[in-house]
Each structure stands twice: as C-alpha cells, then as structure tokens.
Structure 1
Amino acid sequence: MKTSAELPLRILTHNIRYATSSPFKGERPWSERKQLLLNELVYNTRNHDSFVCLQEVLHNQLVDVLSGLNAGQTTTDHNNRWDYIGVGRDDGHQAGEYSAIFYQPSTWKLRHWETVWLSETPDVPSKSWDAASIRIVTIGVFTHRSSGQTVLAMCTHLDDQGSRSRLEAARIILRKIEEYRSGKTYGSDLSGVFLAGDFNSQADQEAYIELTASGSPLVDSGKQGDAAAHYGNEVTWTGFGYEGQDPSRIDYILLGSGTHLKTPWTVEGYAVLANRFDDGVYNSDHRAVVVDGRLLFDTVAG
C-alpha cells in the first residue's frame, strides 16, 4: 500500500559579490566581508538538510567558504562536513567565477554533476548572443541517504547586460531539466527539481517569464504559500548604496516536479535576509534568499 511522506529541505542562494581588487564606494574588501558571510551560511544551515547555492565565487572565496563551513571538523569526521560541485566559468577549472553548490555528503549522495555553458557551445567555456560575460549553470543529481529521494539541483548566474542571452540561457536550462526528467541525461527517478541563483531578471523580464511560464515545470517559491508569512525583505539586490540604481528582486529559488508531473513541493517558509547590520558593512550587494520546503513522495508499506 502506498503512503505519502515528506522530506524537509532548506535551500539558500546568495550572490556573494566577487573579491574585487577595485571595490565600489561603500563596498568593503572580501577580507572584511567573508566572516560576516560565513556567519550567515553557518547559522542558516545549522541542523538542516541544506543546499547552499552561491554565485560570483572566485577560487580563493571558494576555499574560504568551504573552510569556514567545515571549521571545527576533523578530516576524518565526515558528519556534517561540506563539499561542493562547480568550476570556474572562464576555463572549466579554477579561473573565473563559480556558481557553486555546497552540500553535506553524509546527508546527500552525489550521483552525477556537470557544468553547462549558457551559450551556443554549451560543452566548452564560451559566451554567445549579447552576453557581456561567460555564463554557466551548475547541475547536480543528489540522493538523500535516509529517505532515498533524488533531487536535481541547479545553480546559475545569468548575464547582467544581454537580454537575449538571458532568454536563451533560460531556454537551455529548461531543456536540461527536461533531459534529466526524461532520463535522457541521467536515468534517475527524480523526486523534485530546484533552480537557484541570480537571474538578473525582474519578474516582468525575459528570463523570469520564460522560466516560470505556464508550460515550465518550475514555479517561484516566493509566490507559493502565504505571502503574509514571508520573513525579511522583498528585493534581493541592494548595491552598496551608491550605484544610482533602484533595488530590485532578481535572485530566486524556483521549485519543480521531477520525473512525475505533479508538483511535489510545499513551501513552509520563504525569507530574504538582511545583508547589513549594526556595523554598517554589507556582506554582499545581494541579499540571500532562503526557502524551507517539504518534498512530497510516496512510500510503499511492507
């Protein structure tokens, strides 16, 4: 007899602002921001089955984040330790920005992962159309060790200049989701899908519209459940206070169905966290988005 069960899961996404050598007015260097950012990540993932999706991560920042998440753990103690998937977008190794997904191997078994370049040549570092920068999506298939449920996790950062490149990137991402859901790329019975990141697209612009259209398997987690219960802010990009641009909502966590067509997610909580406190230091020019979801799945009673 089939019965239903739920897997609680926290997803956090944050564009952490790359470690520039030429900070904007109002921006502090990474050496001053990193502990604030690490405190955010550690606090908001403690005692949760979590994924952390970060954008604009240079390799030295990747090392800092991984070390910070694993602070206090020994190399032989794998309980609660963190690992990551992702590559630098410029060369497919360590050059350029990562769109990294951090996870805990004791909780999630990594089954498969890949990086796809959001261009006309998706298998090699490249850019196309009107993109100002090379752009990627990091894709991972993870199986939850306790429940056996498999999740397709995706993290991306779309172009800030090219409208067409954002639209084409959204279409590439949707095609990749369909490949995984159909078993063409990885023959797994997916329980659910999520796409997290900085889309550089507001809700009335091309990438968001394409990714959340009626025919898409994805929905905006920020529009699920009771909006009155949301915690924190609405906008996710603030700048450092001197950019002369209006703050906007461009960072998202989209949730979708896996192999089966029904929507398996229930959103218990949605938050946009503060990126500045009493000390006046912005930990990034973006705010983190956090979603607490429950992934519904069927079990067979013995």
Structure 2
Amino acid sequence: MSRIRVLSYNVRYDNRHDGHDAWYARRDGVADLVRFHRPDVVAFQEPLPAQRDDLRERLPEYALLGRGRKRDDAGEGCPIGVRTDRWRAVDDGTFWLSETPAEPSTGWDAAHPRIATWARIRPREEPDGPAGPADSPLLVVNTHLDHVSARARRESARLLRERIPELAAVDGEDGDAGSADDPFDGSERVPRVLVGDFNCTAGSDPHRILTGDDPDGGAGDALRDAAAAADVRHGPRTSLTDFSRLIDNRRIDHVLVSSTVETEAFATLADRDDRGRYPSDHLPVLARLRP
C-alpha cells in the first residue's frame, strides 16, 4: 500500500461566547488549512450539525461521514472526511464510548456522551486500470475522549482497544464478513489508524492502555504512537492554543497506528489564518503513513 496522509483536527464547537474567534470568523481558515495540506483523510472533532454543513460546503472534495453524539443526530460529532478522488468508503459507523456502545449513551461518569466514528476505505481505481494509491482496505477511527472524567478516558481507551480489532476483522458491526462491493473476507485484520483528541498527553493512562504500555489495558491489539515512531517529526510539541498563542507541552491530539503501519512523518501544523490567529484552540496533527 502506498502513502496515505491522515489529518486530525479539533475545530472547536460553535461557542457564541468566543467573540472574534467564533466559528463564523474561523470556518474559512479551517477549510483553507485542510485544502492546502490536502490529506487523503481528515478527521474532525467537536463540530456541531451546522458546522458539519459548513465543512461539507467548503470541502466538496471530501465525503464527510459520521453523525452527532445525541440520539437525534444533534450535538458534537467526530466526522471523517474521505478524499473522493483517491479513496472510497466501503463501510462506516459510530459507536458510543460507554457500557452500551450500540446506542446513544454516556458512560463512566463522563461529562458528555462520547463517540467514535469509523470508516473502512479502499483506493479508487485509476481510469486506465486498477493501479491506485493502495490495494487493500484501511480502517480509520476518529474519537474524542472526555475532558472531565479520568475514569471515562481510561474505560473508553479499553473499549477502543477491544473494538478496533473487531472492526478491522469484519465488514460492519453486525459481524458479517465481506460484501459485493467490498469482498474482504475478515480472515485478516486490515491496517488500523486511530486519531483524535484524547484530552491527555502521551504517557497518561489512556495513552498507555492504547499503546500496550499498561499491563491492565485489556483485550485487543496495542497500537503505536505515530509521533514517537515517525522517521521525521515537525512542528510544536503541543497541540493546544488560546487562538493567539501556543499552550506549551499539551499535545493531546494523537495518531496511533497498528504494528504493520509505517510512519514516515508526523507534524503538528501551526498554520495561522488570514487574521494572524490560529483557526481553532487546537492545532491539527498530520501523519504520512505507509500501511
């Protein structure tokens, strides 16, 4: 499989108290950043329904997958954008980070419902033949862990570690292997990429659970931190801002990959918009991967 560029970006929810950093002043800057860097996959955290509509309008080259975390599809989402000229999504879905992941719910004393959105993608065939950017599926999972409850972050990490291999081994949540459009038979796990805002830094309990450094991490395969594994690393070692300045040593946005995925480069992107401000209170992180 050839290179794939995956970008994760917490764009901050539309908060009317943000003044001159309200969403309407930032949305073009967010979209411009994505268009400039042209990732194959972009994973957003926090956008509300109207923000998701704005992103769809400004990024028509991406198919935006996912839903809101509330029962009526409202609330913040963790959508995954797939660049349609190079990739196609063959399956996708959302589950809740709770004791009842199949239904809208809040788990483990979290302040809000938390979700993970996933998509299995395949390369598009070139007009002259099947030679595309890759020849096998890739599973991408996007999440946002709770910002209040340490227990919720730990248990959510355990759930993710358990569920991701299951999603990589079957076509969909119902356990049926393969389909007419995606004949993957489930006999091997496809390469996996987990991205998102973990609300914790490398070395914290949730990070250690997901990367296998915690002996009590639970079932499932351990992942690797792309930032640590990268051959080339670029940008600040934080991913938090106050829109005008960086907040030091707070890289809470992560890209984790399965053992077969090579990380060629990892960057924290400190692009400013045309106002001279950061388009969000998070910096996006970008990984160049070779599954």
Q: TM-score, normalised by structure 1?
A: 0.81
Q: Which has the higher contact order (CA 8 A, sep 6+)?
A: 1
Question: How far apart in 2 are the matches of 1:150 and 1:186?
Answer: 16
Query: Match for residue 73 of structure 1?
Result: none
Asked if structure 2 preserves the Cα contact closer than 8 Å seen for 1:115 and 1:137, the reply is yes
Query: Match for residue 24 of structure 2?
Result: 31
Q: 2:110 aligns with which of 109, 131, 134?
A: 131
Determine if the alignment matches structure 1 residue 210 to structure 2 residue 209. Answer: yes
Secondary structure of the residue aligned to 2:240 is coil
Q: 2:146 aligns with which of 138, 151, 159?
A: 159
Query: Match for residue 58 of structure 2?
Result: 68
Q: How does 1:4-43 map onto structure 2 within 5 Å? A: 6-23=1-18, 28-43=21-36
Per the alignment, do residues 92 and 293 of structure 1 end up closer, same or farther by CA in structure 2, a change over 3 Å counting?
A: farther
Q: 2:71 aligns with which of 91, 96, 103?
A: 91
Determine if the alignment matches structure 1 residue 285 to structure 2 residue 288. Answer: no
Query: Match for residue 191 of structure 1?
Result: 190
Amino acid at match of 1:198: D
Secondary structure of the residue aligned to 1:185 is coil
Q: Report percent identity of matched pairs.
A: 32
State how many pairs are aligned: 265
Per the TM alignment, residue 111 of structure 1 is displaced from its structure 2 partner at its CA by 1.8
Secondary structure of the residue aligned to 1:286 is coil
Task: Give CA-to-partner distance per residue, 1:228-268, whole Å, 9 cap, x none.
Answer: x311111011234699x765010001111xxxxxx322222
Query: Match for residue 223 of structure 1?
Result: 228
Secondary structure of the residue aligned to 2:288 is strand
Question: How far apart in 2 are the matches of 1:139 and 1:196?
Answer: 10
Per the TM alignment, residue 190 of structure 1 is displaced from its structure 2 partner at its CA by 4.2
Per the alignment, do residues 28 and 251 of structure 1 end up closer, same or farther by CA in structure 2, a change over 3 Å counting?
A: same
Per the TM alignment, residue 202 of structure 1 is displaced from its structure 2 partner at its CA by 1.2
Query: Match for residue 78 of structure 1?
Result: none
**5+ residue gaps, structure 2:** 125-131, 178-183, 214-219
Per the alignment, do residues 239 and 185 of structure 1 end up closer, same or farther by CA in structure 2, a change over 3 Å counting?
A: farther
Question: How far apart in 2 are the matches of 1:44 and 1:165?
Answer: 33
Secondary structure of the residue aligned to 1:133 is coil
Q: 2:236 aligns with which of 233, 238, 245?
A: 233
**5+ residue gaps, structure 1:** 1-5, 71-80, 257-262, 296-302
Asked if structure 2 preserves the Cα contact closer than 8 Å seen for 1:114 and 1:139, the reply is yes
Secondary structure of the residue aligned to 1:124 is coil
Question: How far apart in 1 are the matches of 2:32 and 2:81?
Answer: 15
Per the alignment, do residues 277 and 291 of structure 1 end up closer, same or farther by CA in structure 2, a change over 3 Å counting?
A: same
Question: How far apart in 2 are the matches of 1:156 and 1:61?
Answer: 17
Query: Match for residue 253 of structure 1?
Result: 255
Question: How far apart in 2 are the matches of 1:210 and 1:92?
Answer: 32
RMSD: 2.2
